[in-house]
Amino acid sequence: MIHSGATATLTHRVAAQDLASAFGNDTDEKYPDVMSTPAMLGLMERACAEIMRGELEDGQLSVGVTTQLTHSAPTPVDAQVSATASFRRREGNLFVFDVVVHDPKGQVGSGTHARAVVDRTVIEKRAASRR
């Protein structure tokens, strides 16, 4: 059982593939050479998933269900970022977390993320049925 306030922190060095400019290559849209919101969200999700690892039985995994986030400051390539997730509560099937993201200059993002425990085989079969 996860206790309220349980935390996990993951760190990541921002690479070229994490940049907003790596998205939208097929359009005329231009994006800056800063950490993208999808890359930040991925790090946030991984920090939450780390807290849940001990809750999972063989064949289970956790999946993201909802996210509310604010990306409040730009982070350049090669900067180290850290995402710290804190477990807040359980709402039925959902495990709800608060997450903050920092780079060396301070906070760059925050949000709330909810995850659910699912059977890997079941979710992969459901996905395959959508082909």
Ligand-binding annotation for 64, yes or no, is yes
Measured CA to CA in angstroms, residue 79 lies from 16, 34, 83, 100 at distances of: 11, 10, 13, 16
Catalytic residue among 7, 11, 37, 50: 37
Among this protein's residues, is 121 annotated catalytic?
no
Tokens 């309220």 correspond to what residue?
4
Catalytic residue among 71, 75, 84, 102: 71
Among this protein's residues, is 45 annotated catalytic?
yes
Tokens 């001990």 correspond to what residue?
54
Ligand-binding annotation for 42, yes or no, is no
> Tell me, what amino acid is at 11?
T
Catalytic residue among 12, 45, 75, 102: 45
CB 6 within 8 Å of CB 51 = yes
Helix (H) or strand (E) holding 40: helix 37-52
Instruction: Tell me whether strands 80-91 and 60-71 are parallel, antiparallel or unpaired.
Output: unpaired
Kindly list the catalytic residues.
37, 45, 71
**Residue numbering of the annotated binding site for CoA:** 64
**Residue numbering of the annotated binding site for substrate:** 64, 115
